[in-house]
């Protein structure tokens, strides 16, 4: 289900090709606004991936934007791997954020223990909320797409019952250390990379990860192979919820330092988009998060502020990327054309070389 079996090279190549096609389509919309697509691309690259100096390094902010995308993308991917199309990451993130802010703002703990306990609370709340759609699906046959979307809205009201300290700044003892003085890139980025590595090992090197993958890839095969599909789905959704809740906790403790409902460049379908762009593989999710984070940052600080181009152009680029990535037929033709062009270029260069 929403998975792809390929090598590491392909997990990197697919997001890159999708990004190129997305930029080309975005260039057409830029042209309609009366601006130069070439100038827009140059501004986009500088605003999203440039680094002129330590105090003016956009790529560091892109890594900050990519941090929640990595975790929420993994959250969606694990749910997809287990066989559930979950779109409930935003609600789980919100509850995780409220839980972490509750611990951070209402309790006094030592510096290292304080953020650890707050993040554990975020993980716990995310897990509890993620298990609900699994129960509704397995025991009441309620479609998980419908239940997770509705649970996102319900989470907004449930937050009001958590003493999360609205408007209260969390103390220094609970904050995640910042990695640079000029950006909000924090320790959560390395935590996201660690979790990504662990998820890679868990999915492809452990029996539990194998059960989760098989239950989503082929339910009939897993049933006759002795895999308990229900248990695999519960495990998958618990881990999915834990990752989404952790995402909210990191945003509160490392970026905003108080409870907010709107996270860094977030969208309710972020997890789904990143998972699809990365084909539900941790390595693909890493690269797609970096691409998506940079495009979003550049659309806001580059296209919108510097050139006056609507920020929605960035959304058009991302949407095109998702369409290309989610269509195997489109990608296959583009890949064949791309590789053929590269081979022809190599042949032409070799032919021009003196023998």
Residue-wise pLDDT tens digits, 5-39: 556 666 677 777 777 888 888 888 888 888 888 88
Name which residue leads in pLDDT, 54 or 71. 71
Quote the number of domains for the chain.
1
Helix (H, G, I), strand (E, B) or coil at 186: strand
Q: Would residue 279 count as lying in a domain?
A: yes
Kindly state whether residue 127 falls inside one of the protein's structural domains: yes
**HSE (side-chain half, CA atoms, 13 Å) at 200:** 15
Residue 346 vs residue 40, higher pLDDT: 40
**Mean residue pLDDT across the chain:** 85
- What is the pTM (predicted TM-score) of this model? 0.88
Confidence band of 76 (pLDDT split at 50, 70, 90): very high
User: Which residue in 105, 269, 239, 251 sits closest to 191, CA to CA?
Assistant: 251
The pLDDT value recorded for residue 302 is 83
Per the DSSP assignment, residues forming a β-bridge with 53 are: 56
Whether residue 318 lies inside any domain: the answer is: yes
Looking at the domain assignment, is residue 345 inside a domain? no
Q: Which among 238, 118, 109 has a CA at the least distance from the CA of 176?
A: 118
Say what percent of the chain tops pLDDT 90.
Answer: 44
Mean pLDDT of 243-268: 85
Predicted local confidence at residue 77, as pLDDT: 94
Cα separation of 169 and 176, whole Å? 14
Is residue 342 domain-resident? no
DSSP state of 173: G
- Helix (H, G, I), strand (E, B), or coil: what is residue 327? coil
pLDDT tens figures, 177-215: 999 888 899 999 999 999 999 999 999 999 899 888 888
State the DSSP code for 253: I
| Mean pLDDT, residues 76-105 taken together | 93
Cα dihedral 17, 267, 67, 146 in deg (nearest 10): -90
Q: Which domain range does residue 40 map to? A: 8-48+58-337
CATH of the domain at 142: 1.10.3470
**Is position 100 within any domain?**
yes
The C-alpha atoms of residue 308 and residue 301 are separated, in whole angstroms, by 10
**Phi and psi torsions of 2, nearest 5°:** 55, 35
Which one, of 166, 81, 155, 92, lies nearest residue 127 by Cα?
Answer: 92
Could you tell me the pLDDT band of residue 257, with boundaries at 50, 70 and 90? very high
Residues 310-348: tens digit of each pLDDT: 877 877 887 787 777 666 556 666 667 766 777 777 777
Residue 344 lies in a domain: no
pLDDT at res. 167: 62
Measured distance CA(276)–CA(273) in Å, rounded? 5
295 in a structural domain: yes
Q: What pLDDT score does 6 carry? A: 57
């Amino acid at each position: 289900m929403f998975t792809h079996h390929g090598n590491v090279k392909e997990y990197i190549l697919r997001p890159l090709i999708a990004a190129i096609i997305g930029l080309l389509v975005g260039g057409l919309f830029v042209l309609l606004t009366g601006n130069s697509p070439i100038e827009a691309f140059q501004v986009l690259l500088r605003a999203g991936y440039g680094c002129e100096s330590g105090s003016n390094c956009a790529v560091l902010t892109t890594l900050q934007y990519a941090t929640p995308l990595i975790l929420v993308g993994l959250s969606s991917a694990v749910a997809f791997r287990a066989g559930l199309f979950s779109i409930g990451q935003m609600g789980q993130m919100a509850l995780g954020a409220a839980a972490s802010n509750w611990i951070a703002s209402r309790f006094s703990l030592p510096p290292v223990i304080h953020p650890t306990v707050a993040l554990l609370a975020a993980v716990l709340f995310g897990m509890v909320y993620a298990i609900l759609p699994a129960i509704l699906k397995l025991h009441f046959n309620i479609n998980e797409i419908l239940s997770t979307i509705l649970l996102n809205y319900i989470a907004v009201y449930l937050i009001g019952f958590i003493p999360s300290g609205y408007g209260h700044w969390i103390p220094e003892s609970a904050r995640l250390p910042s990695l640079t003085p000029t950006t909000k890139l924090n320790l959560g980025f390395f935590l996201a990379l660690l979790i990504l590595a662990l998820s890679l090992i868990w999915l492809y090197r452990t029996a539990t990860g194998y059960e989760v993958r098989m239950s989503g890839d082929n339910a009939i095969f897993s049933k006759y192979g002795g895999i308990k599909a229900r248990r695999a789905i519960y495990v998958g959704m618990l881990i999915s919820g834990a990752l989404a809740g952790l995402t909210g906790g990191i945003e509160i403790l490392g970026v905003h330092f108080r409870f907010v409902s709107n996270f860094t460049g977030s969208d309710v379908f972020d997890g789904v988009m990143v998972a699809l762009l990365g084909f539900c593989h941790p390595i693909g999710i890493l690269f797609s998060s970096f691409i998506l984070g940079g495009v979003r940052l550049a659309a806001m600080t580059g296209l919108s502020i510097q050139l006056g181009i609507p920020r929605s152009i960035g959304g058009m680029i991302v949407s095109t990327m998702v369409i290309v990535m989610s269509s195997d037929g489109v990608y296959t033709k583009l890949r064949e054309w791309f590789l053929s062009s590269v081979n022809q270029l190599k042949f032409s260069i070799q032919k021009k070389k003196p023998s």
